[in-house]
Amino acid sequence: MATRAAVVVWRELTAVETSSVGSASVCRVSAGQFESFKLLRGVNTVVTRRELFGSLCAMVFLINLARIVFAPVIQPAAADFGVSAASLGAVTSAAWFGSAAPRIPTGYLLTRFSRSRVIGVTGLLLVGSATFTAASQSVSHLIVGAFSMGLSSGIYFIAANPLVSELFPERVGTALGIHGGASQVAAIGAPLVVSGVLLIGNWRVTFLLIAVVAAISTVALAWAARQTVLPDAGTADRSLITAGRAQWPTILTGIAFLGVTGFLWNGLFNLYGDYLTIAKGIDAGTGRLLLSVTFAAGLPAFIFGGRLADSVPNIPLLLAVTGGFAVSVLTLTAVSGLYAIAAVSIVMGYLVHTLFPVVDTFLLSSLPDRHRASAYSLYSATTLSIQALGSGTVGVLVTQGVGYTTIYRAMTVGVVAVIVVMFALHRGNRLPTESGMEQAPNTDAARWVLTRSLKNQIWPQQITTQPRLRLDAENG
């Protein structure tokens, strides 16, 4: 039956019109021809890539919430334990160290197991670690809980980001931007969620809610992954060492842009409420609201930043965005007054969150299939290890009597120094440039669709419901 169906599809495809749109070969498929595709593929029973992508966006919301939630929790937790908020900088650092710790091991796991299976494990880990954290009765217990919740995010991003880029290879930046935007919704909502929880209970209830919702989301994602035909782009990725040796210029470029900048950002947003209270005279509630505003600016930044990364050269864009962020932080340390601080917070939040999808687009579109997940894990582990030191470093310096303003200005000078070096290397053509994802052939698109579909069961998703349906052959 399957063979007969394949013959029917082949005969239909020989009559398919093909044309070029930009660099893509496009098939124009009639309604009857599309029914032949459905016969072979079983469209009615198979979840599309877009539906799986929706499940990933739901999961990333919870995964990012697990990292971000410790920033607004610091002040109520410090009051509960009878310590200063600055002394709990180690808690937020633990969450980010936890996020960094499993990234290289996860890269190894991805050379042995599918991306979807590894992603499923992160949900189970989040359920257990959130429940453990909710039971915290001491600072050390909270630190361990933060680290364990960070582990789930580290595993997830290494497995999910390459998968997202491979689901939509023609629009890597756009897909990563939407996925990042979903995670940013958690960052926006975290301070508001904590504030709402504090109205009805203590801060521990926040982690119980995360555990319950994570359990439901994990089941939904596991079902979607089992029903979806996934790309096989990473099947040749079998060695971390080989990937690191082959792709070190690209890896180091990503680390240079996001390492020091992320160190500054981590040290700033995790202690943003305390900084605004001490340095700007703003109360804790307003500080949490301003933190939400800063994260809210990141939602359009992810989406439009990802689209922009698909359209312009990434290295000049990275230089411009990183430089703008450094200027915004310096401006924040100089201004006073609620409205001025709110305005700078919006600009600062937009710029730093634009940086994330642009860096990921540069890396994941530059790295070939055979090295993508392994090289990305090496980059990500190194970058997160640097970033994780940010809040802890700032917290230690503050407890030793150094002012927040002095610390943030000094850290910004470090970011500017890196920008200058990277600009000089770019001008000298010493930096790698994005090369684009490995693409399907442009010729004989109709036959290519059938051949790839039968051989690898990778099917196009960009199908519209027009009278003569349009099928993007390069998106399978």
Q: What is the DSSP string of 298-350?
A: HHHHHHHHHHHHHHS-HHHHHHHHHHHHHHHHHHHHH--SHHHHHHHHHHHHH
CA dihedral 58, 60, 65, 68 (to 10 degrees): -150
CB 147, CB 90: distance < 8 Å: no
256, 420, 424 from 417: Cα distances, Å: 11, 5, 11
Instruction: Give CATH for domain 49-427.
Output: 1.20.1250.20
Residue 292, judged by CB atoms within 10 A of its CB (0-12, 13-18, 19+), counts as: buried
Q: What is the pLDDT of residue 55?
A: 86
Q: What is the pLDDT of residue 329?
A: 97
- Rounded to two decimals, the pTM is 0.72
Give the C-alpha separation, 389 to 340, whole Å: 29
Give the C-alpha separation, 57 to 289, whole Å: 24
Give the C-alpha separation, 321 to 398, whole Å: 28
* Angle of CA points 69, 157, 46, to nearest 5°: 115
Report the b/e string of 126-158 with b at 16+ CB within 10 A.
bbebbbbbbebeebeebbbbbbbbbbbbbbbbb
For 297, the token pair is 């600016």
Cβ neighbour number for residue 402 with a 10 Å cutoff: 13
Q: What is the pLDDT of residue 198?
A: 86
Q: What is the pLDDT of residue 112?
A: 85
**Widest Cα–Cα separation across the chain:** 78
Give the C-alpha separation, 124 to 122, whole Å: 5
pLDDT by residue for the chain (476 residues), tens digit each? 444 444 343 344 444 444 444 444 444 444 444 444 444 444 433 457 788 888 899 899 999 998 888 888 888 888 888 887 777 878 888 887 888 889 889 988 988 888 888 998 999 999 999 999 998 888 899 999 999 999 999 899 999 999 898 888 888 899 999 999 999 888 788 878 888 888 888 888 999 999 999 999 888 888 887 777 666 666 676 788 898 898 999 999 999 999 999 999 999 988 898 999 999 999 988 988 898 889 899 999 999 999 999 999 999 999 999 999 999 999 999 999 999 999 999 999 999 999 999 999 999 988 888 888 889 999 988 998 898 889 889 989 998 999 999 999 999 999 999 999 999 999 999 998 765 454 433 333 334 344 444 444 444 443 333 333 333 333 33
- The H-or-E segment that residue 27 falls in is strand 24-30
Q: What is the pLDDT of residue 457?
A: 43
For 39, the token pair is 């016969």
| Residue 365, amino acid | S
Q: What is the pLDDT of residue 36?
A: 44
For residue 28, the 8-state DSSP code is E
DSSP assignment string, 372-430: HHHHHHHHHHHHHHHHHHHHHHHHHHHHTT--HHHHHHHHHHHHHHHHHHHHHHHHTT-
Length of the chain: 476
Residue 464, judged by CB atoms within 10 A of its CB (0-12, 13-18, 19+), counts as: exposed
Question: Among 314, 344, 311, 339, which residue's Cα sits nearest to residue 326?
Answer: 344
